[in-house]
Amino acid sequence: MAARGYSIFDTAIGRCGIAWSHAGVVGVQLPEAREIETRKRLFRLYPDAREQRPPPDVEIAIEAITALLRGEPSDLADVALDLDGIPAFHARVYAFTRRIPRGETITYGEIAAKLRLSGAVHSVAQALARNPFVIIVPCHRVLEAGGYADRISPYGGVISKRRLLSIEGARGTTTSKTLFDVLLPVAPPRPQG
């Protein structure tokens, strides 16, 4: 058996992928626009992994992910993660994020404050942007200040935070940026007079 394995599985939002080692899950990939793109991303991220039948603990994780993506209550707290190669700061942020209840949201700044790292809002955001354990570490429940549902990590494929929160029933907790919000910070000032 290879040191790492992966499997593609069906969910309500499309074909997802999961990769694992003997220590636990090393990554989850939400669907890309096409299954072949999901497979390519898994191969790029875990070139030593071979497609195979998931072991029982990973099968339980797949069932929980599938249930959550159907909008059903699901507990992923006991899913073992392989944190080998994950920076200690990121692991700390991921551990905190795993405790955010389904249907609830928090901001990057609130996580930094609760971890007593008030000056580390950007670092918290960067850690979650690199989250390989999408859904298991529910980074979609962490929003920008003001409730903006920014893009999920690259492992999120074409799925948005807003869509995942909607599946979980967390309606009304996010706002979308308008074109005005996006362009105003980068628009050159208009000449006066």
The SS3 call for residue 146 is coil
| Catalytic sites, residue numbers | 139
Contact between residue 6 and residue 54 where contact means Cβ atoms under 8 Å apart: no
Q: Strand 142-143 and strand 106-107: pairing?
A: parallel
Distance CA 142, CA 115 (A): 14
Distance of CA 187 to the CA centre of its chain: 31
The SS3 call for residue 115 is coil
Closest CA to 173 of 144, 153, 130: 144
Give the contacts of 102 (CB within 8 A, at least 6 positions apart): 68, 73, 74, 138, 168, 169
